Amino acid sequence: MVTVRHAPASAGEVRRRLGADLADAGLPASVVGDATLIVSELVGNSVRYARPLAGGVLEVTWSVRPDCVLLTVSDGGGPSVPRRHAAGPEDIRGRGLAIVAALARDWGVRTHPNGSGPVSTVWVELPV
Ligand SMILES: Nc1ncnc2c1ncn2[C@@H]1O[C@H](COP(=O)(O)OP(=O)(O)O)[C@@H](O)[C@H]1O
Ligand SMILES: [Mg+2]
């Protein structure tokens, strides 16, 4: 698990760490590229739309399974919920989760309290 600040610069930090780890694990470059794209989008959304977890942080996990990579990004929830929008051709926003959904085998949101408040986790299964 990687704990990062609830700040825009964290998207790049997580992208680099995830990319290095998945490349070390021997995954194809296309999977590494898709995974790092997804994680930067999810961290960006958590920074923009959600509160941090206690301590002003976000938590990111990944695990390499035989047939997929499971990615999770947890934040403290917010006024909205992560939901794919139907972006039109002219829309400059509302594409991130549509891209995630297109790349993922499955994805979803899980909310669950921990000791210090609400936790909202977006999980994504990326096929390998
Ligand atoms: N971590 C999150 N917490 C709360 N709401 C979220 C989160 N991620 C996404 N959302 C909601 O889902 C919508 C769609 O996200 P996305 O497809 O990434 O589009 P965009 O980031 O361009 O608005 C956001 O506009 C926001 O309302
Ligand atoms: Mg987004």
Q: Which ligand is nearest to the CA of 84?
A: 1
Distance 128 CA to ligand 2 centre (A): 24
**What pLDDT, in 10s, does the model give residues 88-117?**
777 777 789 999 999 999 999 999 988 889
Q: Which CATH class is domain 2-127?
A: alpha beta
> Is the predicted pLDDT of residue 10 greater than 80, yes or no?
yes
**What pLDDT, in 10s, does the model give residues 21-39?**
999 999 999 999 999 999 9
**pLDDT of res. 6:** 98
Distance 41 CA to ligand 2 centre (A): 6
> Is the predicted pLDDT of residue 65 greater than 80, yes or no?
yes
Distance 57 CA to ligand 2 centre (A): 18
The model's pTM is 0.95
Q: Give the DSSP letter string of 49-103.
A: HSPPBTTTEEEEEEEE-SSEEEEEEEE---SS--------TT-SSS-HHHHHHHH
